[in-house]
Amino acid sequence: MKIFLRTVMVFGLVFTAMQGKAQNLALILSFENYENGPDVRNALRSHNDLLTAYQDAGFQTFAGRDRSNAQLRRLLTEFADALADADNAVIHINGHVVSFGQQSWVLPVDAQNDSLAGLEIDGISVNFLLALLAQKPEQSVLFLGMADRDFANIAGMRRGVSNANIPDNVMMVSGPVRDVARAVAQDFLDPDTIVLQALSANRRQLDFDGDIPIDLILAEGGLPPPPRVDTSAEIESALGLSRNQRRSIQADLTLLGHELGSIDGVFGNATRHAIGKWQKDERFPETGYLNAEQVRRLDILADTARFEVETRDRAFWARSGAAGTVAGLQAYIERFPDGLFAGRARDQLLELLRDDDQNEWLRAVDTNTLQAYQRYLRRFPEGTYNRLAKVRIQEFAVDEPDPHDNARRAEERLRLDNSSRLLIELRLAGLGYRVGTPDGNFNNATRNAIRQYQDDGRLPVTGYVSSDMIRMLLLGR
């Protein structure tokens, strides 16, 4: 092994810890459950102990468990970006480590086991990790906790790490997973312990290579505990969102295409799931809880989407309902049932239908047939001559059919045309019943809405429109 002691040796020299508190960084990666090779025993159990030990020693930690090659890129980038402002830096990895010639790789859990070329593509270069730590000369250590079994049978590949290309002023410590983890937690991170002392205490269990900075102390004594970081839930709670603000957030999420159930100002599981999906789309951490920045971002995106919807709404109104025709108003309501002009469209549509009431009644009287009076009621179920039409229909009525078939036949006798059916659907929808898309066709959603209305109104629950239902629904009595 290549070993250099970076110090001036003086008899009786007493080593003392550097004054001041260091901002130290630790990148901790553990790989246990491999897709294409044997698992690494104790890797994840050691990971949890190591994470606690480094944090208790005051390190800022970047940690990952069973990550794939692609998932490691962001973590490595974040660690590399933070190096410039760090004092001491440690990379600690548990997992399969393999070598070929002078090259070594740490293998993520999705590494292939069929070729050396695959290892070069999938693996994390140990040389790269050492070069990264070389930015902190005499202030960095690479710890490798290695598997005790071969990853794969590939010609020329061997288990373990090559030590031929260790940069100057960088130290590497390697050994079995549990031995390295124990040594780090008990000795290397023992407050005010010099690295050389920790190596001496573990020289039989561990291998160490490179330049050993004997005055390096990874954990200074008396370090204050790391600052407490508020959880995502606490950060959102600190915003003090009112019930109306929460409703507004739910409405914004719905507008952006995220389904969350009712807009009630209560952030239940459905809302949390929708927030998480939105955070993922916007590349925020997927926590399901919001912070101030995310609330502002959500508000901006929703305002933009709302403006686009309103622009389409106004344009379609100009092409359809603004003309004031039955067809145009019906088209607008179908396209924008909750649109800017939906209330006006429904009022105008009802008014237009009323204007034809007199003419339709005169036509029915002139024709004086059952079908003519039924047509009148279909078109104007709440018309001026509603009761007279029913009296005339009763005069034309034949014997009643089987009671079980009465409801369906009674609706058929009403002969509701498309406009009358649409009017019924609009009135039901206006009362909060879900009728599907108002289009004059009584589908399953419409039938269910009719049943609910009949049940609420203490009418016979049949799912078919009756004259009593029409009177109650359209005339309010």
Given a contact cutoff of 8 angstroms between Cβ atoms, the answer to whether 133 and 89 are in contact is yes
Structural tokens at position 161: 């790490």
Q: Determine the Cα–Cα distance for residues 216 and 195; give it in Å rounded to an integer.
A: 6
Given a contact cutoff of 8 angstroms between Cβ atoms, the answer to whether 179 and 205 are in contact is yes
DSSP state of 264: S
Question: Length of the chain, please?
Answer: 477
pLDDT in tens, 74-100: 889 999 999 988 999 999 999 999 999
Scan for tokens 């459905």, then name that residue.
270
- pLDDT category, 337, cuts 50, 70, 90? confident
pLDDT in tens, 118-144: 888 889 999 999 999 999 998 999 999
- pLDDT category, 225, cuts 50, 70, 90? low
Structural tokens at position 348: 């105008």
Given a contact cutoff of 8 angstroms between Cβ atoms, the answer to whether 157 and 99 are in contact is yes
Given a contact cutoff of 8 angstroms between Cβ atoms, the answer to whether 213 and 169 are in contact is yes
CA neighbours within 13 Å on the CB side: how many for 235? 14
What domains are there in the chain, each with its CATH number?
3-212 (3.40.50.1460), 232-319 (no CATH), 356-475 (no CATH)
Sheet of 103-106, strands arranged across:
124-125, 103-106, 97-100, 158-159
- One DSSP character per residue, 191-219 reads TT-BHHHHHHHTTTT-EEEEEE-TT-BSS
User: In 3-state terms, what secondary structure has residue 323?
Assistant: helix
pLDDT in tens, 188-200: 999 989 998 999 8
pTM for the predicted model, two decimal places? 0.46
Structural tokens at position 462: 């049949």
Sheet of 171-176, strands arranged across:
3-5, 207-212, 171-176, 140-146, 89-95, 24-30, 59-65
Of 336 and 353, more confident: 336
Across 158-167, 223-232, 438-447, which has the greatest mean pLDDT?
Answer: 438-447
Handedness of CA 250, 257, 341, 453 (dihedral sign): negative
Given a contact cutoff of 8 angstroms between Cβ atoms, the answer to whether 376 and 356 are in contact is no
pLDDT at 6 over 80: no
Q: Determine the Cα–Cα distance for residues 357 and 389; give it in Å rounded to an integer.
A: 12
Q: Determine the Cα–Cα distance for residues 206 and 150; give it in Å rounded to an integer.
A: 19
pLDDT at 223 over 80: no
**pLDDT confidence of residue 349:** 78
Q: What percent of the chain has pLDDT over 90?
A: 36
DSSP state of 464: S
Main-chain phi, psi angles of 237, to 5 degrees: -60, -35
End-to-end alpha carbon distance in the chain: 98
